[in-house]
Structure formats: C-alpha cells, structure tokens
Amino acid sequence: MALRVTFVAAAGSSSRLAERFEDDRPLDRAGWSEVQRVAHALLPLAAADLRYCSPNPRSRATGDGLGYAPLVQLALRDCDMGRWRGLTLGEAMAREPEAVDAWLADPRATVHGGESLLDFITRVGGWLDTRPLEEDFRVVAVAEPSVIRAALVYALKAPPATYWNIDVRALSRVSVTGQAGRWSLRIEGVSPQRTRT
C-alpha cells in the first residue's frame, strides 16, 4: 500500500532572505491574487481524501481560498524560533551574529531558546509517518515553505543541512509517496499529449 501526500506552499511567501521566523501575518492582497491566479491548477487537489494545513494564517487562508476546507494540524506549525520570532535572518544576524552562525552550523542548536532544526524536522516527519494508510489514499497539506523543506529532508532521509538547499516557492506543490519510514519524492508535471500518426 502507498499513500500520496501532496504539500502545497502557502501563498504570500517571500524569498528565504526576507521571510520572517514564525511569520503570523495574514494573507495580503498580493497573496490573494496569487491564489486566484493558480486556483484552477490546484483545485483538483480538493478531491484528496484528507486535507490539512498548518496553523499559520497564510496557510489556512490559502487552503480555504483553494477550496480545500483544511483541518489545522499543530504538528505542521513553523519551527519555534524562540526570541527570534518575527525577525528576518538578517535582523537576527545583526543582533546575535555568533548565535546565528552556531544555529546554521549545528542542527541540534537551540541558541534562540526555541526548537532545534533537527527537532523541527523530526516533528514534521512524525506527522508524515502517522498519516492513515489505505490503498491509493491521497492527502493534501498546505504549509509554510519551511515546513515543506523539513518534510522533504525527513522523507528523503537527507542530512539536516540539506534543509538550507531546498527552495520552496509560494503555491508550488510537491508530493511524497510511500508509508512510514519509506518515502519517495514524486515530481509532478503535465503529461505530454500523445499524437496519432
């Protein structure tokens, strides 16, 4: 048996350098425009057997805007960044350069007083591993890019440092298939039309 979990990145996400840690801002007008622009392509995911989202306001609004009516999953919340919550990486670096360097270098570091990168990846992976497993079961989860990066690192059993090399753009989607402890990345695209000769 195999389960397919498709992650959809929340709208309104900025580049990794400008995004804020644990950003609780609501979906803005530009984000709503993004959702409307791609809704036709992402609407078929509303037929998934289970539809979830992270508790972040943008993730919830994106899921609702796409017609998913998702259930909030606390395990899909962003990494707890302690006293860096609401800061950009640049702002944290300006305030505590040595602490940021230590955090970037060590996935077990909790120099900000919150959750380590390794604990974050493990938490998100634990959620993934506990999804119901039925034949051809499909799940969709709308989440922040950081959560999707953590899920992919976990699914691929990649070193935690791989997290920093995954770029997840707003309203992009990626799927993993398999079951607890045995996941595969599934790259989806448009199938070419066969022509008759």
| This model's pTM is above 0.75 | yes
Q: Quick one: pLDDT at residue 114? A: 94
Reduce the DSSP state of residue 96 to 3 states and report it.
coil
Dist. CA 23–CA 124, nearest whole Å: 18
Tokens of 156: 């691929």
Q: What is the pLDDT of residue 17?
A: 47
Q: What angle do CA 56, 48, 136 make, to 5 degrees?
A: 130
Res 183 pLDDT > 50: yes
Band of pLDDT at residue 195, cut at 50, 70 and 90: very low
Per-residue pLDDT, averaged over 158-171, amounts to 94
Predicted confidence band at 1 (pLDDT cuts at 50, 70, 90)? low
Which has the higher per-residue pLDDT, 124 or 32? Answer: 124
Q: What is the mean pLDDT of residues 106-114?
A: 95
Residue 162 has pLDDT above 50, yes or no: yes
Please write the tens of the pLDDT for every residue from 9-56. 999 755 444 677 877 778 888 889 999 999 999 999 999 999 999 999
pLDDT at 149: 96
- Helix spans in 117-166 (H): 117-129, 145-155
Maximum distance among all alpha carbons in the chain?
66
Residue 3 near residue 139 (C-beta atoms within 8 A) = yes
**What's the rounded Cα separation, in Å, for the pair 66 and 46?**
8
**Rounded distance, CA 78 to CA 54, Å?**
8
Burial class (CB in 10 A: 0-12, 13-18, 19+), 46: middle
Tell whether the torsion through CA atoms of 85, 91, 97 and 100 is positive or negative. Answer: positive
The reported pLDDT for the residue numbered 29 is 85
